[in-house]
Amino acid sequence: MENHFGEKVSVRRLSELYPDYNIDVNAEQQALLDADVVLFQYPTFWFNVPSILQKWLESVWLYGFAYGEGGDKLHGKKLLVSTTTGSVADTYDGQIVATMDDLVKPVKHSALYTGCEWQGVYPLHGALYLAGVHDENYLAKVQANAKAHAKTLIEKLKN
């Protein structure tokens, strides 16, 4: 996959690599071994990670690799989450809908359990565009917000 971030960054789009959900565990574990920082970028679907990311975690973060006897391969790796939501930030106020910190707790605690250093969650709210519902000005705003969010993430990764 072409990557616009230079040689230091590897981008792995699970939905493109594994449209059939048949995950190459060895390739994914090697990619983790090669990484110092892991960034999960995903859309929040119904207040959860997408099913392919859940399948990836179950398939790749195995006993003897990510936890258990000999399972120290992720120790010390920095892990952060960038997630997009269709709803605006005020939706995630902890009243009806959980806060973003609450929604990423399973990912955070999985990371901590495997020895990763949790670096936090960076949400991009209101990232939903529906053709026929929203106009071109709205699309331009969503795209501008996405570019600004990407710049923020790139700075986090550089540091």
Q: How far apart are CA 4 and CA 125, in angstroms?
A: 24
Nearest to 73 by CA among 34, 107, 23, 118: 34
Give residue-wise pLDDT tens across range 49-82: 999 999 999 999 999 999 999 999 999 999 999 9
Q: How far apart are CA 76 and CA 64, in angstroms?
A: 16
Write down the H helix ranges in 3-135. 14-17, 25-34, 51-60, 100-103, 105-113
At 107, the amino acid letter reads V
CATH superfamily of 14-158: Flavodoxin domain (3.40.50.360)
Give residue-wise pLDDT tens across range 74-132: 999 999 999 999 999 999 999 989 999 999 999 999 999 999 999 999 999 999 999 99
The length of the chain in residues reads 159
Give residue-wise pLDDT tens across range 9-63: 889 999 999 999 999 999 999 999 999 999 999 999 999 999 999 999 999 999 9
Cross-strand bridge partners of residue 149: none
What end-to-end distance do the CA atoms of the chain give, in Å?
24
- Residue 1 confidence class, pLDDT cut points 50, 70, 90: very low
